[in-house]
Amino acid sequence: MCHQSVGLIAGVLEKAGIPTVSLSLLLRVTKKVRPPRSLSVPFPFGYPLGKPNDAKLQHQIIRAALNLLESPEELPILRDFEPA
């Protein structure tokens, strides 16, 4: 789905009281759209969770994204994924 569309939809959902987190493959677009919470990942299009069958890495990415929901920082929150 388009980064811009996802960011705009996330903003509307947040205003309705529904917390959101998105994964970003295009940091420059994400910075312009400013979704409420976004985790920037260093992977090519089609692979937002990294290589297929790499469950350990995929769990790390999902955990990092969900941790943004607990961050006390003011919105928007944009973080880079840093593998453990």
Entry pTM? 0.92
pLDDT at 1 over 70: no
Q: Specify whether the CB–CB gap between 29 and 5 falls below 8 A.
A: no
Q: How far is CA 71 from the centre of its chain?
A: 13
Average confidence (pLDDT) over 37-59: 96
**Whole-number mean pLDDT of the chain?**
95
| Length of the chain (residues) | 84
Whole-angstrom CA distances from 67 to 2, 11, 20, 83 are 23, 18, 11, 14
pLDDT for position 37: 98
Task: Return d(Cα 76, Cα 56) in angstroms, integer.
Answer: 28
